[in-house]
Structure 1
Amino acid sequence: MSSHKENLTQFVEGLINKEDVQKLYQTYEADIQVITPMEVFEMMSARMRAGETPQALLPFVDKLINVFYMPLKGFQWQRPAPDTFLNYLMLENDALIGILEAFKNVIKSSHLIDEKPAIAKLLKQCFAYESHLQKLENILFPYLEKRNNHFEGLKIMWTLHDETRRIMKTMDANVSRLDTNEALLKVQLGQLYFKLYGLVQKQDLLLFPAATSCLSDADFLAMHMQSFDYVFPYISRPEKPDIALETLLYEHGGVAYEYQEMLGDEKLIQTETGIMTITQMIQMLNHLPVDITFVDAEDKVAFFTKPKKRIFPRSPAVIGRDVRNCHPAESVHVVERILEDFRNGVRDQETFWIQMKEMFILIQYFAVRDESGQYMGTLEVSQEIGEIRRLTGEKRLLSS
């Protein structure tokens, strides 16, 4: 006798091969009625690993959800508690649906061209949903991928995000034109509604329930802390918990823990944005196509990089030297003014550019401050940008 998952796989295979949907449903109804969100991801991941693309699978996913809608809607899962990562995502979705519902009367207008101001306002509200999508792509998706190897199907959801973005951009261009195409605008509104409602539905029926089945409370707390780097569209920004994110990321069980273990015993640099060995950090900095020099809060040279083609020579003897002594006497007053302004908060950045031999050099100075705004020093970054200045058009393919 075939297993439950084998039966679901056969059902999906039949749908893809355009077999009779009614007969397929009758054959596999018992298995369809107890399908779980995680099993949908598993089936989509299997198709992805078999070589099918997210773009090709996307139309099929909508058909699949139509068939699975009732069992997925009835699936029992632990709803998120208030003031949690998923809870705020769901509140954002509720607010978006409210915006779309309130706009339905405008869509019924027989003269959409007269509703351009209202449509432009709707688009602005829809563009705000970008922050919600970024939180899914940059926070939730990575956690799911690291916790379970059955989340290849998330690429399909990301493709849906990108399709929605394209519709909003082309629709915005149409609305902004003096000769707006009204017939096209009607089609675009329909597409936008279908995509946005579909996004919310897929999150509610699949993504959020699956996430709760494989992520821990500590994971969700870490994700919540990271979400404060983004906007909370449509809802009031919550108060950020007073918790060290590094602790959540790197304690046993955190998403970065396994990578930290893999790096071995070499001394690590560990922050909320990542972990690297000191060797990795130094080589990364030295491979950047820029000269970098850091001057500390006491105006002493503390660090510099050694790229393959350094523009301004530096030697280790300069470490600890007063930066004023590193410049010709005639330009020291400029250096002192920059340091004084940075230290006093008058400015945070200064930029110069010079022609030197055949090079066009961009020189930038940045005030470095801690999270409380306390001045820590100055970063000097120099780059030869002649080739960059000559760039035109686009390059999207690898060089041969």
Structure 2
Amino acid sequence: MTEQHNLHQRQQLLVKILTFLSNGGNFDQAKQLFDQEFANVDVAEITAAERELIANGLDPREIQKLCNVHVALFKDAIAPGKPTAAFDTPGHPVYTLKLENKIIDSLINDELLSCLKKWQQDGSENDYLKRMRHALKDLLTIDRHYARKENTLFPLMDKYGITAPPKVMWGVDDDIRGYIKKACQLVDQQPLPDKYVIEAAVEKAAQEVLAMIVKEEDIMLPMLAEVATPADWARVRADEDSIGYTLISPPINWQPTEQELADAANKPTNSALGQQFNEIAKQLAATDAQVNQITQRNHQEPAANLPVDPQARIDLATGQLSPEELIAIFKLLPVDLTFVDAADQVRWYSDIPDRIFPRTKSVIGRSVYNCHPPKAQPKVKKILTSFHEGTSDREEFWFSLHGERFIHLEYIAVRREDGTYLGCLEVGQDATYLRSLKDEKRR
């Protein structure tokens, strides 16, 4: 039996087991079948199997619901990734992510759950309730940890054709944000709800966060370690500070050494695991033309920043501006701007100091659909389809963000004078202050 044939058999067996679970099959039976057939399994095989389920029509949100089940099924058999010295260097994105995870783990186990247990045992002890409230507010800052992952690591996974894990993981991230927010609301509610209601909400949030740590470190990072280059990690590091960190100070700057860059240049493009995963991904992508095109396009390195002639002028029909003037103006506008071209690829965003939603340079050239969590993708698809077909030119939304900011969003079709579709301009504005204005103030 050839190695390729054996790989195909393993893949189909994994798909069979995951399909059995997605159809409501018994976990113990699935675990027994897995243990009989597999001594170990690579993270690439797991994610490729999940991707095949998605390619065959399973909603990514269904895999999202089973994500913890998949981790429990495979956890003891996952082959460890190869250690990389740079990952243990302060300032490296992997080092930073793991450091945050250690602190988050300690916050949950040593403070939040410990205080919950003591509060349950002694309901008159308000100090434990106060500490739980404080711990949950600290846990809310995990949003920055997830936002950094979604805006720097997910684009890197897209670049190498690893498209299924981000779809699933982003949806789980959003669920976790909701679980933590719910727990915060319950412990702040007056009068307090039943103790067991609070206990269930706090434990649910804690369990999901801890499970995500396993997914990040045992599945996502080993896969990235197989395909990402030192130059890739340098680009990730360059984008991190604009998003922020969870429960740690901004790390020191990190850059790959000349030796690391030289070693990477002499290394084959894909390791055995990378080749294995990408071969499976190519076969699956044959039925998914959009993903295949994105993968090929994103494999190209971004162009270097070229020097701009300070004397150059850009004709804007109603006047001329230099590139320097144009960039400065965009940075001062009180709105977030993002432009998505006619191929639904992100091409530009305004780099203002306090964006409503974070953007990094890694997003440039990425499919706009992969820049949104799974639950939002159908709505994005509907809007852009209506723009492409010419049945709509504008969509408008407004909502409260974290109960503190009132956000107004517009999606506007950009067209030539003859109606040809050029792309979509997203305009976001924090309208909290504007809503508070009263009476008049004239010049």
Report if TM-score (shorter chain) is over 0.5: yes
Counterpart in the other structure of 1:169 = 181
Counterpart in the other structure of 1:332 = none
How far apart, in 2, do the equivalents of 1:64 and 1:172 lie?
28
AA paired with 1:4? Answer: R
Aligned partner of 1:180 among 192, 200, 203: 192
Cα 1:261–1:350 change in 2 (3 A) is: closer
Structure 1 residue 119 corresponds to structure 2 residue 125 = no
Cα 1:217–1:256 change in 2 (3 A) is: farther
Q: Which string of whole-angstrom CA distances, capped at 9 and with x for unpartnered residues, describes residues 312-369 of structure 1?
A: xx456xx89xxxxxxxxxxxxxxxxxxxxx9xxxxx9799xxxxxxxxxxxxxxxx99
How far apart, in 1, do the equivalents of 2:23 and 2:199 lie?
33
Q: How does 1:233-312 map to 2 (within 5 A)?
A: 233-241=246-254, 270=305, 305-306=316-317
Aligned partner of 1:210 among 207, 223, 228: 223
Structure 1 residue 81 corresponds to structure 2 residue 57 = no
> How far has the Cα of 1:12 moved from its partner?
1.8
How far apart, in 2, do the equivalents of 1:131 and 1:101 lie?
20
How far apart, in 2, do the equivalents of 1:315 and 1:229 lie?
32
Aligned partner of 1:100 among 102, 108, 115: 108
Question: Which one is further off, 173-182 or 83-92?
Answer: 173-182
Structure 1 residue 91 corresponds to structure 2 residue 91 = no
Q: How does 1:47-86 map to 2 (within 5 A)?
A: 47-72=53-78, 75-79=80-84, 80-83=87-90, 84-86=92-94
Structure 1 residue 152 corresponds to structure 2 residue 164 = yes
TM-score w.r.t. the length of structure 2 is: 0.55
TM-score w.r.t. the length of structure 1 is: 0.61
How far apart, in 1, do the equivalents of 2:238 and 2:214 lie?
25
Counterpart in the other structure of 1:38 = 44
Q: How does 1:17-36 map to 2 (within 5 A)?
A: 17-36=23-42
User: Would you say the 8 A contact 1:11–1:24 is kept in 2?
Assistant: yes
Structure 1 unaligned spans of 5+: 273-295, 307-313, 321-341, 343-347, 352-367, 370-389
Structure 2 unaligned spans of 5+: 270-293, 323-327, 335-351, 354-395, 401-407, 413-443
Cα 1:199–1:19 change in 2 (3 A) is: closer
User: Would you say the 8 A contact 1:37–1:206 is kept in 2?
Assistant: yes
AA paired with 1:90? Answer: K
Cα 1:50–1:397 change in 2 (3 A) is: farther
Cα 1:100–1:262 change in 2 (3 A) is: closer
Larger Rg: 1
How large is the RMSD of aligned CA atoms in angstroms?
4.4
User: Would you say the 8 A contact 1:34–1:71 is kept in 2?
Assistant: yes
User: Would you say the 8 A contact 2:116–2:132 is kept in 1?
Assistant: no
Greater length-normalized contact order (CA 8 Å, ≥ 6 residues apart): 2
How far apart, in 1, do the equivalents of 2:332 and 2:319 lie?
26
AA paired with 1:155? Answer: K
Cα 1:112–1:221 change in 2 (3 A) is: farther
What SS does structure 2 have at the residue aligned with 1:11?
helix
User: Would you say the 8 A contact 1:48–1:153 is kept in 2?
Assistant: no
Cα 1:41–1:179 change in 2 (3 A) is: same
Cα 1:398–1:216 change in 2 (3 A) is: closer
User: Would you say the 8 A contact 1:228–1:240 is kept in 2?
Assistant: no
How far apart, in 2, do the equivalents of 1:56 and 1:186 lie?
26
What SS does structure 1 have at the residue aligned with 2:241?
helix
Counterpart in the other structure of 1:356 = none
How far apart, in 1, do the equivalents of 2:28 and 2:211 lie?
24
Cα 1:139–1:19 change in 2 (3 A) is: same
How far apart, in 2, do the equivalents of 1:29 and 1:391 lie?
49
Structure 1 residue 219 corresponds to structure 2 residue 232 = yes
